[in-house]
């Protein structure tokens, strides 16, 4: 099995951290990697390692006759936020309706294939329409689906978790500058990453406590069980299968099932890994309480030294925002609000929907962009107890770019 994983960095797209692309897709800010392939074998593969600085440099590379290049998205400095400023984003209040439909459809498909895993065949084609909807919704305004992913429910964790990981993974891939087809593959891998858990004994899967050592060993077999069943179906791309197989590997080699380390873990696997950990931390389980999303991000940062390549967790935190979408906050001026947009270049200064307490709960007031002023900041996140009566999705439905009366 290990020989399947340890291949040339560019021979299998996402078998490693680098991505092989046409030279026409090369952009300033991309970090080109040396794939270690002889120029005799691949004379048209550009391999001068380092950052691409300008369009002029790209034109010079093209003039030399190179047709392809390998780059590392996690080391590249393509500011997705710059691109987003030139592309009109659908208002959150409009996109959330569409996002709910995409989320609901994805949830239904995950529940169906997980419940029939032991006896039924699996069809990757069945998830394509809803996955396409997720990719398109993320492109229009990823905050809508990120909001839904941050709303946790104890009763259906296994199904929601797969959908949430797909949302985070597609959003993170978009942030890293990946193309739509690449996002589709990441999304498929994310939706099926825990497929093997449906093949485990129910007593272990639904245990209302932490598992003991022997039970944990069985739980860890879900990776290979899921991989083998999906591989045997012959319906899943190799890149998707490898990502599923690698989503519990860690950068320092402490993960499982193969203790892969460093560059042996592909980009898809890394993306699934950090999204899986973040959603699991922020979700309530029968044996543990949920961690507030902000504190979950702090845990990711503490883990980053060993779990992921340098800078990888920082990229994810910038994408999600220090105060994730849907977080209820108290501002330094005493006003309360809900985070509805996070700017990667200023993650501590989100856009918030200000709300006001009234007899029947809270009502929305207006949008307030903290990044456009210097005197007001986020004091702290509000607890679930303090916001028990808030219907955050409904409040954000009312949010738009105009002041709310």
Burial of 59 (0-12, 13-18, 19+ CB in 10 A): exposed
DSSP run (H or E) holding 51: strand 50-51
**pTM for the full predicted model:** 0.79
DSSP state of 256: S
Q: Within 10 Å of residue 246's Cβ, how many Cβ atoms?
A: 29
In whole angstroms, give the CA distance from residue 134 to residue 123.
18
**3-state secondary structure at position 173:** helix
DSSP run (H or E) holding 19: strand 19-22
Task: Provide the CB-side half-sphere exposure for 172 (13 A, CA).
Answer: 31
CATH superfamily for domain 89-320 = Hypothetical protein af1432 (1.10.3210.10)
SS (H, E, C) 330-397: EECCCCEEEEEEEECCEEEEEEEEEEEEECCEEEEEEEEEHHHCCCCCEEEECCCCCCCCCCHHHHHH
In whole angstroms, give the CA distance from residue 374 to residue 10.
46
- 8 Å CB contact between 201 and 218: yes
**3-state secondary structure at position 403:** coil
For every one of its 405 residues, what pLDDT tens digit does the chain have, with 9 covering 90 and above? Answer: 433 443 333 333 333 467 888 888 888 888 888 888 877 778 788 888 888 878 888 888 887 878 888 888 777 776 544 344 445 688 888 898 899 999 999 999 999 898 888 777 787 888 899 999 999 999 999 989 998 898 765 557 888 999 999 999 999 999 888 889 999 999 999 999 999 999 998 888 888 888 899 999 999 999 999 999 999 999 999 999 999 999 999 999 999 999 999 889 999 999 999 999 999 998 887 777 888 888 888 899 899 889 998 888 988 988 888 888 889 999 999 999 999 888 777 778 888 999 988 877 788 888 899 988 878 999 988 888 888 888 887 888 766 544 443
- 8 Å CB contact between 343 and 293: no
In whole angstroms, give the CA distance from residue 281 to residue 98.
27
SS (H, E, C) 239-281: HHHHHHHHCCCCCCCCCCCCCCCHHHCCHHHHHHHHHHHHHHH
């Amino acid at each position: 099995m290990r020989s399947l994983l340890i291949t040339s960095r560019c021979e299998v797209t996402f078998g490693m951290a680098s991505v092989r692309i046409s030279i026409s897709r090369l952009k300033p800010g991309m970090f080109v990697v040396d794939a270690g392939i002889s120029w005799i074998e691949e004379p048209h593969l550009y391999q001068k390692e380092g950052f691409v600085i300008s369009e002029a440099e790209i034109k010079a590379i093209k003039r030399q006759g190179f047709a392809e290049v390998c780059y590392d998205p996690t080391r590249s400095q393509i500011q997705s936020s710059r691109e987003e400023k030139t592309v009109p984003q659908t208002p959150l209040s409009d996109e959330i309706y569409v996002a709910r439909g995409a989320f609901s459809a994805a949830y239904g498909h995950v529940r169906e294939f997980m419940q029939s895993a032991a006896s039924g065949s699996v069809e990757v084609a069945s998830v394509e329409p809803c996955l396409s909807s997720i990719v398109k919704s993320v492109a229009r305004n990823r905050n809508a689906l990120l909001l839904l992913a941050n709303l946790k429910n104890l009763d259906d964790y296994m199904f929601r978790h797969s959908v949430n990981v797909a949302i985070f993974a597609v959003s993170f891939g978009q942030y890293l500058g990946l193309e739509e087809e690449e996002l589709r593959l990441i999304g498929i891998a994310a939706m099926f990453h825990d497929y093997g858990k449906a093949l485990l004994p129910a007593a272990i899967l639904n245990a209302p406590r932490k598992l003991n050592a022997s039970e944990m060993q069985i739980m860890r077999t879900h990776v290979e069980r899921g991989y083998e069943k999906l591989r045997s179906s012959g319906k899943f791309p190799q890149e998707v299968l490898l990502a599923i197989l690698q989503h519990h590997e860690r950068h320092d080699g402490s993960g499982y099932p193969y203790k892969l380390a460093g560059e042996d873990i592909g980009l898809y696997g890394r993306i699934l890994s950090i999204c899986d950990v973040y959603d699991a931390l922020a979700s309530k389980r029968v044996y543990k309480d949920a961690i507030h999303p902000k504190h979950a991000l702090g845990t990711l940062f503490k883990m980053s030294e060993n779990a992921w390549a340098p800078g990888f967790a920082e990229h994810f935190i910038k994408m999600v925002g220090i105060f994730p979408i849907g977080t209820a906050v108290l501002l330094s001026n005493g006003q309360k609000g809900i985070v509805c947009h996070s700017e990667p270049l200023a993650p501590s200064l989100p856009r918030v929907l200000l709300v006001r307490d009234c007899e029947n709960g809270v009502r929305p007031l207006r949008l307030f962009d903290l990044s456009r002023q210097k005197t007001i900041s986020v004091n702290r996140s509000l607890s679930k107890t303090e916001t028990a009566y808030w219907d955050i999705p409904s409040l954000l439905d009312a949010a738009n770019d105009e002041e709310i009366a």
